[in-house]
């Protein structure tokens, strides 16, 4: 099995933010030598996550962030001393990784799908690890 790892540097600018990283992951696939396989996108942070969702209408990510805030308010009855329990909960709900099929050097995403880095404790400098396996 051939595989290669890449690290993306992400700079969030808001406390809660969804950043479309689809084009950056696609570029990694184009640069790799793997034409068929899997692409793992992993976020090594406990207050950030990753998801796949619609990238045609920017209102979708705004709606998602607003609903997450309603379900998990920043100022809830939390005990975590750092004061960012809401970020930990939201990150766990989103998950820390997604797997996408690669075929003919292309990500097999649906027509309206994009890959989003989900920041819940920003602004921060973050990393996303992309592993391409063939």
- Domain boundaries of the chain, sorted by first residue: 3-133
- The architecture of the domain spanning 3-133 is Sandwich (2.60)
Whole-model pTM over 0.85: yes
**Alpha-carbon torsion angle 26, 65, 89, 97, nearest 10:** -10
- pLDDT at residue number 42: 98
Average confidence (pLDDT) over 68-77:
94
Q: Is the pLDDT of residue 2 over 90?
A: no
Beta carbons within 8 Å of 71's beta carbon, 6+ residues apart: none
Predicted pLDDT of residue 28? 96
Strand partners, 126: 10
Strand positions, DSSP E, 32-96: 36-42, 48-54
3-state secondary structure of 120: coil
Count Cβ atoms below 10 Å from residue 65 Cβ, excluding itself. 19
CA separation for the pair 49, 45 (Å, rounded) = 7
1 has a pLDDT exceeding 70: no
């Amino acid at each position: 099995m051939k595989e290669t790892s890449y690290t993306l540097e992400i700079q969030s600018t808001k406390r809660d933010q969804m950043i479309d990283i689809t084009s950056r992951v696609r570029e990694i696939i184009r640069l790799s030598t793997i034409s068929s396989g899997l692409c793992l996108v992993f976020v090594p942070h406990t207050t950030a996550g990753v998801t796949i969702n619609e990238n045609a209408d920017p209102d979708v990510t705004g709606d998602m962030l607003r609903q997450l805030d309603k379900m998990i308010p920043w100022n809830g009855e939390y005990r975590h001393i750092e004061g960012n329990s809401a970020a930990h909960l939201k990150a766990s709900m989103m998950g820390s990784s997604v797997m996408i099929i690669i075929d003919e050097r292309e990500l097999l995403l649906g027509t309206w799908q994009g890959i989003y880095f989900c920041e819940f404790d920003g602004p921060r400098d973050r990393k996303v690890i992309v592993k391409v396996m063939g």
